Structure 1
Amino acid sequence: MTDELLHATVSVRGVIIDPRGRNLVLQRATDGEWELPGGRLAPREPVCRGLRREITEETGISVEIYTPVATNAWVNDNEEGRFAAHYKCYTSQRNVDISDEHVDSAWMLPERACRVLNEPQTAAVRTVSNRLATGQPADQSLSQD
């Protein structure tokens, strides 16, 4: 067993797909980097409820949440533990109302999204894109909580 365990803040992000197969990405106000919508869970907050809350706060859209597609863990520059889970999500909405945390949003084809996102988020987008391209069976929607 490991002597030192990771104590981490948990983040959830959505790989949001529109009917045309594009992914929603947001540009952060703090550093101009692009990211998938999402954020940190509150203590004891159910995962789907937290993801839905974060997406609504950041974009004003509603989504249907499906399976987790990728996870990653790291220690940030402040030596704080982080853990992220990425979920496949669908929406039929196109109009995005970004929060003050972001300066821009874009619906991008997966190939383009992968060019602007960091590696863990790119891995999540690629996983979803590959599953769609290979015609894997449709996922079941997760709980509304």
Structure 2
Amino acid sequence: MTATAIYAAGAVCWRVVDGRMMVLVIHRTVHGDVTIPKGKVDPGETLPQTAVREIKEETGLTVALGVPLGVSNYPLSGNRTKIVHYWAAEVSDDAVRHSTFVPNGEVAALEWVTIKKARSYLTFTSDVEILDAFAELVDGGVTRTFSLVVLRHAKAMARSDWKKSDATRPLTERGVQQASTIVDTISAWHPKRITTSTATRCVTTVTPLSAASGIELKRTDNLSQDLFEEGKADIRSVIGKRVRSRKTAVICSHGPVLGDILREIALATGTPTGAYISDAASLEPGAFSVVHLSSTNPSSGIIAIETHSPRV
């Protein structure tokens, strides 16, 4: 992020009503325009956090993020630029029933419309371009998705400074901070499972997320660096289970193991491998890549991958 830019985030919220794809537009009170839900990043927030929070504040809807749809850039006064990141976000019937929205000083009304009608409603061309990116997902039949969040453990004590078993090597103070700060960002995708290497540094990394979400950790040696270096890690079985379940999951492991984890996701979904696998696996401690897959047909391949770095 730069000092000359204002960052924001939002999402194309969608649901199927009577067999028809509908998207949500908001009628803003003060500006008198029609837009996609979005808003500015608060201090200390990440972009995924902002998207979920802004949707909740503007529409009263609780959503989980789906596939990234792109970035809009447009100039502001004072030689500044506004940069807005967007995702798709399915809205469940339960979320609609529990919406807390009432007309207010910022948003006068919410309206569910077809994609075609939304194109004619939206005030800004940049919003239409994001809507078109979503329409491509709809046309491709990959709207409903789940994610595999591949996480490298947070910053750990150096091997040379730890005289006991490497599997018991702990996080540094910075690593503990990283483990805490990634919770809200990963939570933007509403994970349902957390699978981790049995190494202390991995378990400690995802323990705050487990505590915040109430999801019990699933520990497995098949994601451990020790078994990987011995050539005995059965990564394929771990990934196969996660793909078959079609539920968003966090997979926490070690730097040397990440490349094989990403390759197994590609193989399990019929996706050609390439340099993008190495890019997604080249994570600093505490960073993660979110791999988006079709819920209805995972074998259609990886839809998108996005990578996020820790804030500390």
The answer for the alignment partner of 1:16 in structure 2 is 13
Of 119, 124, 131 in structure 2, the residue corresponding to residue 125 of structure 1 is 131
Q: Unaligned stretches of 5+ in structure 2?
A: 150-185, 189-312
| Counterparts of 1:30 and 1:82, CA distance in 2 | 19
SS of 2:39's partner is strand
Displacement after TM superposition at 1:64 (Å): 1.6
The answer as to whether partners of 1:35 and 1:121 remain within 8 angstroms in 2 is yes
Of 107, 116, 121 in structure 2, the residue corresponding to residue 116 of structure 1 is 121
| Counterparts of 1:137 and 1:72, CA distance in 2 | 21
Of 70, 83, 106 in structure 2, the residue corresponding to residue 101 of structure 1 is 106
The answer for the alignment partner of 2:48 in structure 1 is 48
The answer for the alignment partner of 1:72 in structure 2 is 72
- In structure 2, relative to structure 1, the CA distance for the partners of 1:105 and 1:133 (3 Å cut) is same
The answer as to whether partners of 1:6 and 1:81 remain within 8 angstroms in 2 is no
Structure 1 stretches of 4+ with a deviation exceeding 4 A read none
Displacement after TM superposition at 1:78 (Å): 4.5
Q: CA RMSD in A?
A: 2.2
Q: TM-score, with normalisation over the residues of structure 2? A: 0.42
| Counterparts of 2:58 and 2:8, CA distance in 1 | 14
Residues 27-61 of structure 1, C-alpha deviations (whole Å, 9 max, x = no match): 11112110111100112302222111111111111
Bigger-Rg structure (1/2): 2
Choose between structure 1 and 2: higher helix proportion: 2
Residues 74-114 of structure 1, C-alpha deviations (whole Å, 9 max, x = no match): 21245332111111111113355144301111001011111
Q: TM-score, with normalisation over the residues of structure 1? A: 0.85
Higher relative contact order (CA 8 A, sep 6+): 1
Once the two structures are aligned, what percentage of the paired residues are identical? 18
Q: Unaligned stretches of 5+ in structure 1?
A: none
The residue type paired with residue 107 of structure 1 is W
